[in-house]
Amino acid sequence: MSGGNIYNFTSQHRSLQPSAPGQALGGAPSRTFSLSARLDEHLDLIRQDYELMATELSDVRSQREDLETKVAAQINELTLISNTVLELNSKHTRLRQTYEQEVTALRAQLQEAQRQVALAASAHHPVSAPPLGPGGLPPGVPSQHDAYYARDAREREMKETRDRDRLERERDKEMAERDRDRRREQLGREQLEREMRHRERDARDAREAKRVKVEQTKMDRPEHFSPAVGPGMPVAMPAKLAPPGPSTPQGQLPPQLAAERGTPRGPPGAAPLPSAPPPAALPPPTGMDATASAVAPPAPVSSGPSFLDDLDPATLPSEFKKDGSDWWAVFNPNTKRVLDVTLMHSLIHETVVCCVRFSADGKYLATGCNRTAQIFEVQTGRKSCVLVDESSGRTGDLYIRSVCFSPDGKYLATGAEDRQIRIWDIQKKSIKHIFDGHQQEIYSLEFSYDGRLIVSGSGDKTARVWDMADGSSKVLAINDQDSLSTDAGVTSVAISPDGRLVAAGSLDTAVRIWDVESGQLLERLRGHRDSVYSVAFTPDGKGLISGSLDKTLKYWDVSGLTRGRRERRDPEKGSLCTMNFTGHKDYVLSVAVSPDGQWVVSGSKDRGVQFWDSRTAIVQCMLQGHKNSVISIDLSPAGGVLATGSGDWHARIWGFTTMA
């Protein structure tokens, strides 16, 4: 009985014994190992999430520090602007007080003069009366007593009238001066407000560029043409180029738009554009390699000192000056006067006028300013067309830096700060084509004479030749070794009359000439000491005129490029400067040549326009009328008409004739 019980107990508990050495009971240790592995896996995931969050936190802190720095800078700028506004208000108050005091003093003088006149009229002093004869009449002059005193009264009345008129003129003059001061203050406030808006927009652009860059870093998909990447074009006309000018994210434009921005940023424009310091001056080149010839090239003809240097308009004979209502012209007394100039129309715009260009028949003038291109009838001055791209949005500036009519007059090409070339159907007022490809602002456009091609120049160091039929382009890049360390943005382009050459002026002081068909660089013309802002071929195609921030123009003999086959050559050897045009007091921003080749005309930041004899480089006439930089000029292909665009928000049409 007891033995059976023992047997049953052993049978019941046999399953509890390990079946093999080292085997765990009930699988407990294996479950422990599995839990440990899963715990380690979760800890690794938590560690990775923590590291990712730490990296993102570091990026956020960096962005926050950048934003705080920019906000502090903006606060400082706003404080400066506020102080300036307060100073202007204080000045206005002082001027008003001074004016009121002067008016009070003038009124007191007027009252005193009236009182003296009244006293003199009420009591005649015996000494002043003539001796009386019989009957109380002057001796020997019967019946003239009344006439004598009537004449005396008339003289007193005339004197009172003259005094009153003089006081009224003085009062009107004071009121006019007060109104001018008030307008200056208003313009100053508007300029400050524009600058504040530009700075705020630039700060937003910088923040957006930073955000895009961070997102691209996280996504590991960098954008090659991001606004935060790539070289910048000067202006802000520019802040190198700056018309004028003026929001150029990568740089600035000509001092033209800029300096006077209300004035846009960018070349011609610029702007005149506020201007940054011009590029460092380069030593003058020799024009030829020393090994090319044992004989140095002849020195170019120079116009010498300007006749304006020692000019006194007050002593200038009337035949050498001409005055208009708000303009004047002086003619060189040292040479025979053969030119007459008159103002035809003054065309008011709402912003800086960055560019002007005539149609091929000379009947129309196109202008470019902020967001709009406008077309005027030359003879009447009537505005016939306004072109606006509504799809570009309505906020922020978008200055039209260049305009150009097609030879048949059906289309107008515009180049703007948004890096796009728009081809407008003028009759329909709609965009026919948009050419994209430039990476910075477009500063210059030129149609070929047959209308098949259009050339553009941009701050991205390239000119491009576009085919109007299919929109394809050929890139003419500035990539020579010495341009890599300097800003070589293209400010101006021109096509030779035969359509075979493209010339471009750039910020690195050089003028370059390419072969259109092959895209080969043929010439690199050096001689200017500062950025070249404008180039123009002569009508015969044998000469090229360039205008520079060094205040001069130069004539380059390029006839060697127009003869025969243009074989591969050394760009540094070839065309020479044969004439220097000197006389402007500030940057030369635009040049043009008359259709007959007789005149070279230039516009400058000194607000003047000068007519030069193209054969001698001597100034014939200096024209003044604009109140700010003359950013752009053009001569009508029909002859006898000049157009000017300025940072004073006006374009003007002038007529000129050559006298026998």
pLDDT of residue 36: 85
CA distance 535 to 432: 28
Provide the token pair at 228. Answer: 């935060």
Topology of 308-658 in CATH? Methylamine Dehydrogenase; Chain H (2.130.10)
pLDDT on residue 163: 77
pTM over 0.75: no
Low-confidence ranges of the chain (pLDDT < 70): 1-31, 121-156, 203-298, 303-305, 310, 482-485, 563-569
Rounded Cα distance between 240 and 238, Å, is 5
pLDDT (0 to 100) of residue 193 = 74
Identify whether the C-beta of residue 279 lies closer than 8 Å to the C-beta of residue 454.
no
Q: Tell me the HSE value of 46 on the side-chain side, using a 13 A CA sphere.
A: 6
- Cα-Cα-Cα-Cα dihedral of 196, 245, 648, 278, to 10°? 110
Amino acid at 269: G
Please report, for the chain, how many H helices and E strands are present, in that order.
5, 31
- Tell me whether strands 430-435 and 442-447 are parallel, antiparallel or unpaired: unpaired
The DSSP letter of residue 338 is -
Count of alpha carbons within 13 Å of 143, Cβ hemisphere only? 0
User: What is the length of the chain?
Assistant: 660
Which of these, 385, 386, 371, 455, lies nearest to 417 by C-alpha position?
371
Report in angstroms the alpha-carbon separations of 78 from 20, 73, 260. Answer: 87, 9, 20
Integer Cα distance of 371 and 351 in angstroms: 10
Alpha helices in 550-629 (DSSP H): 559-562
The CA-atom distances, in angstroms, between 505 and each of 536, 582, 583 are 10, 19, 21
CB 612 within 8 A of CB 591: no
Cα–Cα dist 590/546, whole Å: 9
Q: Which run of H or E residues covers position 568?
A: none
Residue 565 burial (CB < 10 Å; 0-12/13-18/19+)? Answer: exposed
- The answer to whether 246 and 263 are in contact (CB under 8 A) is yes
How far is it, in rounded angstroms, from Cα 644 to Cα 352? 12
How far CA 63 is from CA of 68, 457, 537, in Å, comes to 9, 36, 51
Separation of alpha carbons 356 and 614, rounded Å: 22
Encode burial over 426-460: b for 16+ CB neighbours within 10 A, e otherwise.
beeeeeebebebbbbbbbbbbbbeebebbbbbbbb
| Strands (E) located in 265-316 | 301-302
**Separation of alpha carbons 652 and 626, rounded Å:** 9
Give the per-residue pLDDT at 138: 46
Measured between its terminal Cα atoms, the distance across the chain in Å is 157
Runs of H (alpha helix) within 129-241: 145-219
Give the pLDDT of residue 215.
Answer: 46
Contact 631, 269 (CB under 8 A): yes
